[in-house]
Every structure is written in C-alpha cells, then in structure tokens.
RNA sequence: GGGUCCGUAGCUCAACAGGCAGAGCACCCGGCUGUUAACCGGGGGGUUGCAGGUUCGAGUCCUGCCGGGCCCGCCA
C-alpha cells in the first residue's frame, strides 16, 4: 500500500492508501465517526463506519485525543461534504504515540483562541494550527518567489557576512558579539555595503538572510531578528531599481495568489485587495506626500507631522489609504537619510531614495536608494556623520577603482508576508519571533 | 525611551457596591449511522501571579514586587 501526503490525495481517488499524521480534531454521531488528520501538507477528514470496521479498530476512536500521532489507512473518496473535497474511508487505524497531557491550546472554538501575544509561549505547538500553518506556507511561497524572480533575471546570490565590525546606519543600535582579539563585533543590520562590492564584481547581485537590530521597538512591525532580501545593481539609477521593486512585488503577489489561494481563504484574506496589486504603482515625492498630509490635516484628521521629518507609521497609513496598491515615495530630505545615499542633482537637499509603503497600513516594506558614487563626496559625508573613516576604507575603494552609478534596496520579508497574508503582527509570520522581551521558545 | 491595559481551572472568560469562586472549551464517563471548529447528559479539576496591609469578612480596596498584552517613537 502506498503511503501518501494529504496534498497529493487527489491522485489516488478509489485507491487504498496510508496517511501518517496527527489527530487535529474528532467528532462522532454514534456509529459514524470522523477524524480530522493533519500531516503538515494538509487537513483530511477520515470516516469511521461501525459496520465496516472490526470493533477493536472502531473503538480506538474513544482513546484518541488532540495531537496523538496516528497512522490511518483507507480508500480515497471525492466528497463534497468533506473539507478539502476528499475524504478517507477508514480501513485501519494505528495510534503511533499518545499525547501525554491535555493539549494546552484550545483548537475547537473560535471564541477560545487566546490573544496572539499570549500564544507565543506555545509557539512550538501553535504553528500546528490552521492559520499559522497557512501563514508559514505563504512565507515559504514569498521566499521561493523572490529567489525565482532574481534567478530568472540572472542575479547572482551573494551572501554578505553576519559578523560586521561597523554599523551601516550609524543611528540604529547594534547587537555586540565577543570576537577573539578583536574584542567586539556586531551582528549585521544590512548587507548593503558588502553588496555594493558584490555588484562591482558580479553586476547584479542579491542577498537573502537574517539581520539584527537591537532596537527596543515594541510594535506590530518590529522584530530584533528579521529577514531581508537586498538586490544591488551596477549602473542602475533610482528609476531602474524602482522598476525592479515594482516588478518584484507584483511577482510575489501573483505567485501567492496562484499557489496559496487555499491558505489565503483559511486566513479570510480579502483576495480582491491583492488582485489590485498591478503595475504601475503610484510614484510620489516626499514633498507630494507632505502635501497629502497637509490636506488631510485640513480635513480635520489628527496628524502630527513637521515638514523635513520622517513619516511616522500613522502618516504612512494616511498616505497609503489614497491608493489600492503599494505607493512609492521618493526624494526624502537628505538629513534624515543615511550617508551613502546620493543627493538629487536637481535639489541637493533631497536624496535619490525610495520607500515603498504597503497598502492597508502595513507600512514600509522597502527602503532603497541610488548610492553616492563620488569618492570625495562620500568621504565628506562619512566625516560629516562622524563615522570611523578607517572602517570604511574598503568601501571607499569601490569609488576609487572604477566607480559607477549603482542602486539597490532592501525588502523586509516579515512585513511583506504580514501584508500579503493579512497577519496582524510580524511576529506571526516568522516561525520563532525574536523581540526585545521574548527569545523563547 | 514614552503612553496605556491586564494577571481567576490546561485555554478563553464571568463573579453588581467587599459577603459560599462559576461557565464554555479541553480531559474522563455515557448517548447518537454523515459530522462540518457537531450535538445531548453526567463527572473530576482552583494557593484567584507573589508579599504585605485595611476589614468581622478581600478575586474585589491599598502598597510593593514579578509576569504579560496593546499603541507610539526608531526602522525593514
């Protein structure tokens, strides 16, 4: 008999197969009993009919409790009444191992679902639930889409170091790590400076990996450990990478709609909001965005924004509400952006940068820029920021030996997955979230 | 760093103005031949986060401590 995964059951209609998994739920109406079995690839209704089964098998039902590991055999049937469209008419059942205690997470009643925050102490079990299962499968699809996107455009994956001696963005906080005679190094906040070196060597590169920020940010959009994808392209201008960012986001959303529709439905995601994500995205400047905020303020909305400062998350939401797709905001004031961004030749008080704000209040998912490629100008900026010049000597070499225009951006995986899946908090979209107050489990 | 809310059964929550600590789910027992996070009947389950105070009497009021949630700033 063939052992199959639930996601492949459609290929075995009429055949007797074996499924190995865990008991997700059970119900009985006497002589007909139902098991919901999950095996990681899906959820399956299993039917036990008293007259068709030996009593010692039929009665095993009474022993079953949540999350027992079980092995079921039966005949696959197409069945409208079954969730998922297929069910298994049981012929044999084995309890591989019993749950030793009451399962700590209620799974049956929607009104009994604890606050998301409280569930994190059970994260190792919580990921077995339908919604978390769906979110993690969407995350996988997003990540896979990203690799396929860059692969098809012949970008070379370039893995920057995790241990770094200096900060990319001097203002944010770093996690120090003891490092032999060196004393202290830091966990990376961004691979960008290394990616710029990679772009000069390999043309089009991207990195995909974890980054760390020791910010005590307690919001639904922050983690201390999060994943980023960062492309960097030689000879690319700001407009070039804005096109790239737009294509990437559209592709990610398309792929999720194509391959993870069932999961979106389990999450009650409004799919029409995702279907609206098509090219072109609106492109506005910082000054345009500031005007929008001013208009909204005149309409009586409570907006606390001063021209010249960065947008807060409330302001981002107000701006994004005007559009049904991500909005790209360019040319922020130079003084609120890091040293490596190139000033706008038409207005040197601004830099050639872009933030992409996701719809529905999910906030900034991309930050990118055209990089300063002039040697003298870059030194000047490093000194202006009071950064340790010696640490940047290798970075300056990139401008010394055949400097070219180049641009790149970073896309936050968790914020993107949270937006696409409709999750309320980025902690839900990574298997084991790290926040200032939680590193367990 | 700032603001705000909450700790009662394994989980979610009640308990009016201080007066016998309760319900749903989970768990155990019984019933039901197509259930749809089924349903019906019964049962076991508590140091009310910890320490102190006020009171005839504290889950409830006061003080301190511990733990947690949500929002903002910073950012992706």
Distance A255 CA to B71 C1' (A): 33
Superfamily for domain range A2-97? Nucleic acid-binding proteins (2.40.50.140)
Q: What is the pLDDT of residues A214-245, one digit of tens each?
A: 877 777 788 888 999 999 999 999 999 999 99
Cβ A229 to strand B below 7 Å: no
Task: Answer yes or no: is A7 CB < 7 A from strand B.
Answer: no
- Our measurement of CA A39 to C1' B74, in angstroms, reads 42
Contact A368, A353 (CB under 8 A): yes
What pLDDT is attached to residue A18?
Answer: 96
Query: How many other C-beta atoms are found inside a 10 Å radius of the C-beta of residue A268?
Result: 9
Report the nearest residue to nucleotide B37, CA vs C1': A108
Q: How far is the CA of A434 from the C1' of B64 (A)?
A: 31
Q: Which nucleotide is nearest to A107 (CA to C1')?
A: B37
Report ipTM (2 d.p.).
Answer: 0.81
Query: Candidates 3.30.930.10, 1.10.357.10, 3.40.190.10, 3.30.110.40; correct CATH number of A126-429?
Result: 3.30.930.10
What local confidence, expressed as pLDDT, does residue A111 receive? 52
pLDDT higher than 70, residue A112: no
pLDDT at A109: 53
Q: Do domains A2-97 and A126-429 have the same CATH topology?
A: no
Kindly determine whether the C-beta of residue A367 is less than 7 Å away from any atom of nucleic acid strand B.
Answer: yes
Q: Are A287 and A311 in contact (CB under 8 A)?
A: no
- Mean pLDDT check: name the lowest of A108-122, A224-238, A348-362: A108-122
Question: In the predicted model, is pLDDT for residue A110 greater than 60?
Answer: no
A271 CB below 7 A from strand B atoms: no
Instruction: Grade residue A113 by pLDDT with cuts at 50, 70 and 90.
Output: low
Query: Residue A361 has what DSSP assignment?
Result: T
Enter the tokens of residue A359.
């719809």
Stated in angstroms, how far is A358 CA from B67 C1'?
35
Q: What is the DSSP string of A220-279?
A: TT--SEEEEEEEEEET--HHHHHHHHHHHHHHHHHHHHHH-HHHHHHTT--HHHHHT--S
Q: Which residue matches tokens 């979230």?
A: A433
CA-nearest of A261, A263, A258, A244 to A204 is A244
Please state which of the ranges A209-218, A240-249, A270-279 shows the lowest mean pLDDT.
A209-218
Q: Give the tens place of pLDDT for each residue, A369-427.
A: 999 999 999 999 988 888 888 888 999 999 999 999 999 999 999 999 999 998 878 88
Residue pLDDT, tens place only, A122-179: 888 888 888 888 999 999 999 999 999 999 999 999 999 999 886 555 545 788 888 8
Tokens of A33: 């009993």
In this prediction, residue A115 carries a pLDDT of 60
Domain ranges of chain A: 2-97, 126-429
């Amino acid at each position: 008999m063939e052992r199959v995964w639930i996601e492949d059951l459609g290929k075995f209609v009429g055949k007797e197969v074996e499924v190995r998994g865990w008991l997700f739920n059970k119900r009985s109406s006497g002589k007909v009993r139902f098991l919901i079995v999950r095996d990681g690839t899906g959820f399956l209704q299993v039917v036990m009919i008293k007259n068709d089964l030996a009593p010692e098998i039929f009665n095993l039902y009474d022993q079953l409790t949540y999350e027992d590991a079980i092995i079921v055999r039966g005949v696959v049937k197409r069945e409208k009444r079954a969730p998922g469209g297929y069910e298994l008419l049981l012929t044999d059942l084995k309890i591989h191992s019993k749950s030793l205690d009451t399962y700590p997470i209620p799974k049956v009643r929607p009104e009994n679902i604890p606050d998301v925050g409280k569930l994190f102490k059970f994260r190792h079990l919580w990921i077995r639930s339908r919604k978390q299962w769906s979110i993690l499968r969407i995350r996988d699809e997003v990540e896979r889409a990203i690799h396929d996107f860059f692969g098809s455009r012949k970008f070379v994956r370039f893995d920057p170091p995790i241990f770094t001696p200096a900060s990319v963005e001097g203002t944010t906080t770093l996690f120090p790590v003891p490092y032999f005679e060196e004393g202290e190094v830091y966990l990376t906040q961004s691979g960008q400076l290394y990616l710029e070196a990679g772009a000069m060597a390999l043309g089009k590169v991207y990195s995909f990996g974890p980054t760390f920020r020791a910010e005590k940010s307690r919001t639904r959009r922050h983690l201390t450990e999060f994943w980023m994808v960062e492309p960097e392209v030689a000879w690319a201008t700001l407009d070039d990478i804005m096109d790239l960012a737009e294509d990437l986001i559209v592709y990610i959303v398309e792929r999720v709609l194509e391959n993870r529709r069932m999961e979106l439905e389990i999450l009650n995601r409004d799919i029409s909001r995702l279907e609206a994500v098509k090219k072109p995205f609106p492109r506005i400047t910082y000054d345009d965005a500031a005007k929008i905020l001013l208009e909204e303020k005149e309409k009586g909305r409570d907006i606390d924004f001063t021209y010249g400062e960065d947008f807060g998350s409330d302001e981002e939401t107000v701006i994004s509400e005007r559009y049904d797709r991500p909005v790209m905001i360019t040319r922020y004031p130079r003084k609120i952006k890091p040293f490596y961004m190139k000033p706008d030749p038409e207005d040197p008080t601004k830099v050639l940068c872009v933030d992409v704000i996701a719809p529905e209040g999910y906030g900034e998912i991309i930050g990118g820029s055209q990089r300063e490629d002039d040697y003298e100008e870059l030194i000047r900026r490093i000194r202006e920021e009071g950064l340790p010049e010696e640490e940047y000597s290798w970075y300056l070499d990139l401008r010394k030996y055949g400097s070219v225009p180049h641009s790149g951006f970073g896309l936050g995986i968790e914020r993107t997955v949270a937006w696409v899946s409709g999750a309320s908090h980025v902690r839900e979209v990574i298997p084991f979230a790290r926040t200032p107050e939680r590193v367990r489990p």
